[in-house]
Amino acid sequence: MALSLNRLSTPVQRCVLRKGSRIFGLLGKATPFGVVQYGRVDVSHSWALTAEFGCLRLERLVGDEEVREERLFLPTPSSAEYGVTGAEASSDLVHAVFGLLPAELEQLVAALRRSNFPVLGFSQTDLKCSLSSSTIPAFWPHVVTSNLALYGNVVSLESFARLIIASLPEGQLRARFPNLQPLFKRLIKMLVAQRRGVPYVKELLDLAPAPAPAKPETVKAVD
């Protein structure tokens, strides 16, 4: 039986949450130094880094979210694969968290590749998206558009999707890549979905006020 966040006995990271009909990923607690495990004590006052349809958001979770048994796995130096593991893991769960399956993302990137770029990227440290200035956490899948890092060459999954959709009319992508029509429709669905939270920008964590400590109980003197 799935437990809610406020009933966990141990912290969690890279897991799948459910609240009502909403299913999304929890990468962990966002801190100025990176993403760490999220525990019961973090509910309501710490920033949770969530992933939904490939979009990363900072959220304040309330504790009634159910923690499913499935876990997220991310790319490694030897493999660009990512997804969800567990008894009920499925492509629908991968779509709900990452937006695209690894094969679908590779298909898009390969179709747009010219002179060896774009390619799928990998980093063991946090990066900044060159288009949106949002933070891409370590190991999270992203796209590299060139070998000129000086001019900005790292693009998050969300920004990559927005770039493709914005290029559909002028770039005539529908006519040039008719076999990618189902993926274009999925990208549009990703971007029009309502999302909670704010975009993940690590600098926001430095500006956010620290949670107020609990007030000690006062004891009235007895005459």
Q: 14: pLDDT confidence band, cut at 50, 70 and 90?
A: very high
For residue 163, give every residue at least 6 positions away whose Cβ sits within 8 Å of its Cβ, in sequence order, or none.
131, 155
Angstrom distances, CA of residue 208 to CA of 43, 128, 202: 16, 19, 10
**Per-residue pLDDT at 217 exceeds 50:** no
Q: 207: pLDDT confidence band, cut at 50, 70 and 90?
A: confident
What is the model's pLDDT at position 31? 95
What is the model's pLDDT at position 189? 86
**Per-residue pLDDT at 220 exceeds 60:** no
Report the SS3 class of residue 215.
coil
| Mean pLDDT value across residues 1-22 | 93
Q: What is the pLDDT of residues 141-173, one digit of tens each?
A: 999 999 998 889 999 999 999 999 999 988 888
**Per-residue tokens: 3:** 């437990």
**Per-residue pLDDT at 25 exceeds 50:** yes
What is the model's pLDDT at position 150? 87
Q: Are 130 and 148 in contact, with CB atoms under 8 Å apart?
A: no
What is the model's pLDDT at position 2? 80
**Residue 16 CB-density burial (10 A; 0-12 exposed, 13-18 middle, 19+ buried):** buried
Residues 122-125: contacts with CB under 8 Å, at least 24 apart: 122/75, 122/76, 122/77, 122/80, 124/77
What is the model's pLDDT at position 208? 62
**Per-residue pLDDT at 221 exceeds 90:** no
**Per-residue pLDDT at 195 exceeds 90:** no
Instruction: Please tell me whether the peptide bond between 118 and the residue prior to it is cis, using omega within 30 degrees of 0.
Output: yes
- Angle at the Cα of 49 from the Cα atoms of 131 and 10, rounded to 5 degrees: 160
Distance of CA 147 to the CA centre of its chain: 24
Q: 1: pLDDT confidence band, cut at 50, 70 and 90?
A: low
- Indicate yes or no: pTM above 0.85: yes
What is the model's pLDDT at position 111? 93
Q: Are 187 and 109 in contact, with CB atoms under 8 Å apart?
A: no
| Mean pLDDT value across residues 172-189 | 91
Q: What is the pLDDT of residues 48-97, one digit of tens each?
A: 999 999 999 999 999 999 999 999 999 999 999 999 999 999 999 999 99
Distance of CA 125 to the CA centre of its chain: 15
